[in-house]
Amino acid sequence: MSKDRVAFIGIGVMGKSMAGHLLDAGYPVTVYNRTKSKTDDLVARGAVWKDSPAAAAENADIVITIVGFPQDVEETYFGQQGVFKTLKPGALVIDMTTSSPLLAKKIAEEAASKDIGALDAPVSGGDLGAKEARLSIMVGGDPAAFERAKPLFEIMGKNIQLQGPAGSGQHTKMCNQIAIAASMVAIGESLAYAKSAGLDPKHVLASIETGAAGSWSLSNLAPRALDDNYDPGFFVKHFIKDMGIALDSAKEMGLKLPGLALAKDLYDRVAADGGADDGTHALFRFYFEGKQ
């Protein structure tokens, strides 16, 4: 039985590894990215380049997108060269961008009008999770579409959960980002305290990361910062986008999130200080330099 033809749109820090895993699993993959050179390695491995989302989607059975911002998602699906211009009935779209729950519902409604399946399936795990195919994948949409997509999800991730109807994946990702935002502030303050107390922060980490304070961010991002490595597993600018979506969604629900608002304010200042394209752990540097 032949495998579904996959169009993968968005070959960034995470998308490149995710598309690569699908290639390795034997799926025929076409790729599109605004910067063509970022697809060169995948094309060398057998992927086929297309020059627009519409061209990539034209003969696809499944379209996967993981782009930057909600406006990029909107353009990718609804633009003049968007996916919906060419995708055929019976196909499936999976947006794995962290984006707006309202936009996820809009995509699902448009897809349904064209007899196309749709899932919103944002991920967590960063560059390492993408490379090691152990992403957490949070999915919103129809159960039948979820079952169709599950074999692909299992190639890219480990923790795969259908959360509910369209938009539920994005809402779940907002829960994830809210929890991370608060913990990043706490880790920055903890490391700054260790330095100010004259302790070796790396030794402090060895003591606290396996106790009640332990977290993925503490074990994976704090060591990078202490080695002065701020390469992005996930960009500050994208985290700010996510926090903005969460705050907007919370406002619509009449919910106040003062901790998240504080974290976003700090990250806005990190970006203004030149750190927008650094990894999210650049917040720790902000604390080390006493700029908070």
Contact 155, 192 (CB under 8 A): no
Q: Which two tokens stand for residue 114?
A: 């064209």
Query: Pick the catalytic residue: 50, 173, 237, 241?
Result: 173
Contact 168, 140 (CB under 8 A): yes
Spatial separation of the C-alpha atoms in residues 237 and 276, rounded to whole Å? 5
200, with CB counted inside 10 A (0-12, 13-18, 19+), is: exposed
- Residue 44: count of CB within 10 angstroms of its CB: 8
Question: Rounded to whole angstroms, what are the CA distances from 106 to 95, 115, 120?
Answer: 12, 14, 11
Tokens of 202: 């790396």
- 120 close to 146: Cβ distance less than 8 angstroms: no
16 catalytic? Reply is no
From the list 260, 107, 276, 60, the residue with the least C-alpha distance to 179 is: 260
Cα–Cα dist 219/179, whole Å = 16
Q: How far apart are CA 38 and CA 172, in angstroms?
A: 29
Strands 6-9 and 62-65: parallel
Tokens 């799926």 — which residue? 27
Catalytic residues: 173
